[in-house]
Structure 1
């Protein structure tokens, strides 16, 4: 069972009768947010804490005549996928909105910075009228290489949706992400929040013109009841009547009904007595399926590593040289066995959309450790 599924089950289940181990939720929260710095694409800021990373993909978007620098690599590869990035942004913003009051002030700033790193990019995806850019990088070519983001020499193909090739689901998720982020960031920068809200309107208009799946975030952010009416009048299109029992970047209806419960499994209360968050606890994954983490950093090995040059590191039994602190891996199988094998990507690959929902849960337990 993947940790994303475990997380949902934990959220839906009642609290256990007893806690088997005490956890430092503040430490786990700090690391869950720090993880996103290791996933950054583009030109890194001076206060970058994951200092084994360097600038990467600085010319993204040039083939389409737009600037698509920035954003996040969503997993252990070097492709930027717009749908999971938008979902990640929505969940991070939701964490700040609902649980920001429980975060230490420094971590609230870090969480807001993680949201803004994504939204700066998502705004760029709306640069051209009646078009939304949804992906940078050819996944087939990228997945045939094992190289650092800083060395990428694979084709950075740009993909977008348009009236001729619609994608209302990803446009709708982009609208949700920008709207949620507008709410989360308004106390920090009202002018930027207004820019995000304008972008969310543009994304929503595209999604509405080429209909598909939508969200309620725009109404919450704008306090415009027109959107509430839209939701009520399009309930079946939205999936409000669906019986959904899964939660993911392409379907989060179940998230509307979850209640927070303990996270006794991910942080180490499991048969293996192993934390599935890198850097948390005494025992955690050391060989995650992640290019930047598994290859020597550009600081320690400044020489260029081409597409296949990383194969020797991929096949090595040694631990990854760079700890991607806070990364939560896919997790063990139904038998609770985790082999810590970077080749087994289903179990050992971390993703932004696994981490993002957990940020709010951890913030809640920082303030309520005994629930």
Structure 2
């Protein structure tokens, strides 16, 4: 029998109430969390391999393989096993996307064909080539999966599964085209200021993840010297970046309200973020600790700014009319989340890498011009 969740609004660092730990196992499976962890470990493996191959191979790879095997062998939704999460973090898309996502990342990390075979053989039954999606989120990984496997198709090496990989590519391009407003009118909505509008609630997390995928795909196209073909025309790699860039610029302040939705950045940003660590003073600066109910009564509904600035947090953002209310109770606009910040950091990394590549190219051209005495145009 599960321990009920105790509603308590205190800083995590100051909590003294029980912190119940939940687990999934063979009798109570949770394929989403196990497979997603396997995918994350495989991605980290790639990042660490050039610097610490021992850690990468002996630890991450071992556990990633074990977790994927567990997730696939003992299939089941994690919110069926841990009922407490259903209200806040249900697995609406099920676990099929996570299984394919994990296998795709394991192929990237290991180059083992059995994982490529898995995503090909299970493409239809798990929806990888059947779901045409219009978002990429913590719950729905299909767009990211389809774009990752498109890169496998474009760069080659999956020849025996090219027909299936091409189907993944078609679904990836559908997602990109609806974001780019090039899908014959059936597109993601836009705000009056030209900002992508996926949802009324927590929209920025979906915008940051979509812009990240656009930037990544632009890089893939550049490497293949190819264009994206949409129902409303072809788009070059640079055109994808030119669309993604204003979406990025909107977040830190280039928008109709000149509002930065990154906490602590710029001169006009949210000061009432729905985050208990930001909203409640520390026990070290108070005469007595804040109780669970006091946290709600005295801090959560307070109109005062936060006592602690949660630097760099991406909030939910404005509504479809680009109205924004800096109020903790408007959690659809002021709540921060890793689901929003993570793809944004990835997007910044991609853009920074592309800028470095451009600088390198310019320096090379200047060097060649100096050596030949001619200016290249």
CA contact (8 A) 2:283 2:290 kept: no
164, 186, 200: which is aligned to 2:27? 164
> 1: distance between equivalents of 2:261 and 2:124?
38
Verify: 1:186 aligned to 2:74, yes or no: no
Structure 1 residue 297: deviation in Å?
Answer: 2.6
Residue 196 (structure 1) aligns with: 60
Structure 1 residue 282: deviation in Å?
Answer: 1.3
Residue 274 (structure 1) aligns with: 259
User: In terms of Rg, which structure is larger?
Assistant: 2
CA contact (8 A) 1:153 1:306 kept: no
96, 105, 114: which is aligned to 1:226? 114
Verify: 1:345 aligned to 2:331, yes or no: yes
RMSD over equivalenced CA pairs, Å: 2.2
Structure 1's consecutive aligned runs of 4 or more residues displaced over 6 angstroms after TM superposition are none
- Residues 232 and 367 of structure 1: is their aligned pair in 2 closer, same or farther, counting only changes over 3 Å? closer
* 1:241-256 alignment, distance < 5 Å: 241=129, 242-255=131-144, 256=147
Q: Where does structure 2 lack aligned partners over 5 or more consecutive residues?
A: 76-94, 148-171, 173-212, 216-243, 359-377
> 2: distance between equivalents of 1:331 and 1:320?
18
Normalising by structure 1, report the TM-score: 0.59
- Residues 140 and 343 of structure 1: is their aligned pair in 2 closer, same or farther, counting only changes over 3 Å? farther
Q: Where does structure 1 lack aligned partners over 5 or more consecutive residues?
A: 1-136
Q: What secondary structure is seen at the aligned counterpart in 2 of 1:206? A: helix
Verify: 1:208 aligned to 2:163, yes or no: no
CA contact (8 A) 1:289 1:350 kept: yes
> 2: distance between equivalents of 1:222 and 1:139?
41
Q: What secondary structure is seen at the aligned counterpart in 2 of 1:230? A: helix
Residue 173 (structure 1) aligns with: 36
1:131-158, Cα deviation, whole Å (9 max, x unpaired): xxxxxx97842xx221111222333222
- Residues 288 and 202 of structure 1: is their aligned pair in 2 closer, same or farther, counting only changes over 3 Å? same
- Residues 191 and 238 of structure 1: is their aligned pair in 2 closer, same or farther, counting only changes over 3 Å? farther
250, 267, 273: which is aligned to 1:288? 273
Q: What secondary structure is seen at the aligned counterpart in 2 of 1:309? A: helix
CA contact (8 A) 1:333 1:347 kept: yes
Structure 1 residue 366: deviation in Å?
Answer: 3.1
Q: What secondary structure is seen at the aligned counterpart in 1 of 2:106? A: helix
Q: What secondary structure is seen at the aligned counterpart in 2 of 1:158? A: coil
Residue 298 (structure 2) aligns with: 312
218, 221, 236: which is aligned to 2:124? 236
Residue 15 (structure 2) aligns with: 152
1:4-23, Cα deviation, whole Å (9 max, x unpaired): xxxxxxxxxxxxxxxxxxxx
Verify: 1:297 aligned to 2:282, yes or no: yes
* 1:1-371 alignment, distance < 5 Å: 140-141=5-6, 144-194=7-57, 195-211=59-75, 212-213=95-96, 214=99, 215=101, 216-241=104-129, 242-255=131-144, 256=147, 257=172, 258-260=213-215, 261-262=244-245, 263-301=248-286, 303-310=288-295, 311-368=297-354
> 2: distance between equivalents of 1:302 and 1:267?
37
CA contact (8 A) 2:281 2:307 kept: yes
> 2: distance between equivalents of 1:313 and 1:252?
36
> 2: distance between equivalents of 1:343 and 1:191?
47
Which structure has the higher relative contact order (CA within 8 Å, separation 6+)? 1
> 2: distance between equivalents of 1:345 and 1:356?
19
Structure 1 residue 305: deviation in Å?
Answer: 2.2
Q: What secondary structure is seen at the aligned counterpart in 2 of 1:159? A: coil
1:31-66, Cα deviation, whole Å (9 max, x unpaired): xxxxxxxxxxxxxxxxxxxxxxxxxxxxxxxxxxxx
CA contact (8 A) 1:153 1:307 kept: no
> 1: distance between equivalents of 2:135 and 2:3?
28
Structure 1 residue 218: deviation in Å?
Answer: 1.0
